[in-house]
Structure 1
Amino acid sequence: MIYTENTIHETANRGSIEVICGSMFSGKTEELLRRLKRAKIAKQQIEIFKPAIDTRYSEIEITSHDRNSIPSTVVEHSSNILLLASNIEVVAIDEAQFFDMGLVDVCQQLADQGIRVIIAGLDMDFKRNPFGPMPNLCAIADDVEKVHAICVECGKLANYSFRLVSTNDKQVMLGELEEYKPLCRQCYIRLNEKK
């Protein structure tokens, strides 16, 4: 294919959906921040969103477990993202598992408008069930990257977020190292049998 100025412009405005998923402590937000840093270097207009429920480190910033952060816009409902994403080239969404199922259509609309959408979130809850809109987002994504933590029991790659607090059976429970730990399949099964 011969690239002309028009084809390069068309390629630059082609929308896409990128999903970064994995367990807790796997570096999802770090990877999201890395991609946003590159977009900033490229002088692209970016907007970052997070769900209102996620107030662990900051009410207004996306913050990784390593305490790296970037200012973000807090939204209650996924439909708010469409209203706030005008004249934007890159939309980033962190903790996507906490959003409503409408997020799937929102991301599809943004990508169809030529916007690059980068999403980070847990693909499974502590019971190893698909979490919120994440499975559907993975299905419509142009690119899915599954990142892994390290199992704190044996040192293998960890896929699962094991909940240490057994008094709460709700799917959504914000927490950190005191409430969760990353485990591989074998260690997850072994420790679940002990509960």
Structure 2
Amino acid sequence: MNNWLENHGYLELIIGPMYSGKTSKLIEVYNQCKLSNINVYVINHRIDQRYDDKLLSSHDKNMIPCIQIDKISKFIQEYTDNIPENSVVLINEGQFFDDLFDNVLLLVEKYNLRVYISGLDSDYKRANFGQISDLLPFCDTISKLHSFCSKCKNGTRAIFSQRISNEENQIVVGSENYLPLCRKCFIKTT
């Protein structure tokens, strides 16, 4: 077995706007782990229950079992005593966890786990969202995904999420409340 994997954790961020395939990428990693008989734990924030309260689901309704919680610390308290080193932990909707930073570093650097986090890299105002950007300096890999602009409709890459509801809170759940936009269209609408 590879000694590097035996002794080191790993951190990958999968970030981007709405509809960019972040959750689908996590599901792909999950399926690869299962095929390779790697222990994998899936964490989804309790606020995100798109189609089921016990399954992580992509927008196209691919689903995998998950642990629904609102604190990463709760996962650490309940599971880490029984998790073998080199297990994989997948965290969906990372921007919603208010204890993400310290606890992810604990999972990676103390428990030597391989952690993949998907989430929005900014909110609908293009401001930092949660603690995801705080983890950038600690990452082994950062994957920035893109969608297609829903206004241009010509294949232009979307890098921002525009809120189309009138809510003022930073957190408004529901894909029906957002559109992926390119820079040009985002600037036109603000």
Paired with 2:60 and 2:48, the residues of 1 have a C-alpha distance of 16
Partner of 1:33: 27
Indicate yes or no: 2:37 matched with 1:43: yes
Report deviation, 1:157: 0.4
Paired with 2:95 and 2:150, the residues of 1 have a C-alpha distance of 24
Task: Give unmatched runs, 5+ long, in structure 2.
Answer: none
Paired with 1:181 and 1:74, the residues of 2 have a C-alpha distance of 26
| TM value normalised by structure 2 | 0.91
Amino acid at match of 1:174: V
Indicate yes or no: 2:122 matched with 1:109: no
Indicate yes or no: 2:69 matched with 1:87: no
- What do the CA deviations read for 1:63-90 (whole angstroms, capped 9, x no partner)? 0011111010011212112122332401
Partner of 1:12: 5
Partner of 1:175: 174
What is the total number of aligned residue pairs between the two structures?
182
Partner of 1:68: 62
1:32 and 1:118 in contact (8 A); partners too: yes
1:165 and 1:179 in contact (8 A); partners too: yes
Partner of 2:163: 163
Paired with 1:60 and 1:108, the residues of 2 have a C-alpha distance of 26
Report deviation, 1:138: 2.2
Q: How does 1:130-149 map to 2 (within 5 A)?
A: 130-149=128-147
1:97 and 1:132 in contact (8 A); partners too: yes
Compare 79-88 and 139-148 and name the one that shifted more.
Answer: 79-88
1:21 and 1:28 in contact (8 A); partners too: yes
Paired with 2:11 and 2:47, the residues of 1 have a C-alpha distance of 23
Paired with 2:138 and 2:56, the residues of 1 have a C-alpha distance of 24
From the CA coordinates, give the structure whose radius of gyration is larger.
1
1:51 and 1:98 in contact (8 A); partners too: yes
- What do the CA deviations read for 1:81-119 (whole angstroms, capped 9, x no partner)? 21223324011100000001x211111111122210011
- What do the CA deviations read for 1:140-164 (whole angstroms, capped 9, x no partner)? 2111100000001113100111011
Partner of 1:3: none
- What do the CA deviations read for 1:116-141 (whole angstroms, capped 9, x no partner)? 00110001001111100110122321
Indicate yes or no: 2:187 matched with 1:189: yes
1:95 and 1:120 in contact (8 A); partners too: yes
Report deviation, 1:41: 1.2
Amino acid at match of 1:60: K
| 1:132 counterpart SS class | coil
Task: Give unmatched runs, 5+ long, in structure 1.
Answer: 1-7
